Amino acid sequence: MINYMDDPQWGKVVSRYIKSEMAIKGMKYKDLQRALEKLGTHQTDANLRQKINRGQLSAQLFLQLLVVLDIQHLELSKIKQIVRHLQS
């Protein structure tokens, strides 16, 4: 069971999840920026880096990142693993 964490900690979970998926897919922030442009979302790569590093994304941007990273399924076990790592 996941213990309570404050909001900044959840931001770290989001950040680490997106970054891990970027690493798996071999995508950089510039790649994300270009892919998001195709969806009609205009973000600079520097802006994306800042938002992802802080883990402060709108729900819309989070979903768009899942799409451009071609994430077919959110892996709850992966998210729980990140949470456990942050709690230790």
The Cα–Cα gap between 27 and 82 comes to 20
pTM summary value:
0.87
Instruction: Give me the residue spans of the domains in the chain.
Output: 8-87
pLDDT tens track of the chain, all 88 residues? 455 666 678 899 999 999 999 999 999 999 999 999 999 999 999 999 999 999 999 999 999 999 999 999 998 999 999 988 988 8
pLDDT for the residue 87: 84
The answer to whether 14 and 86 have CB atoms below 8 angstroms apart is: no
pLDDT for the residue 5: 60
Query: How many C-beta neighbours within 10 Å does residue 25 have?
Result: 14
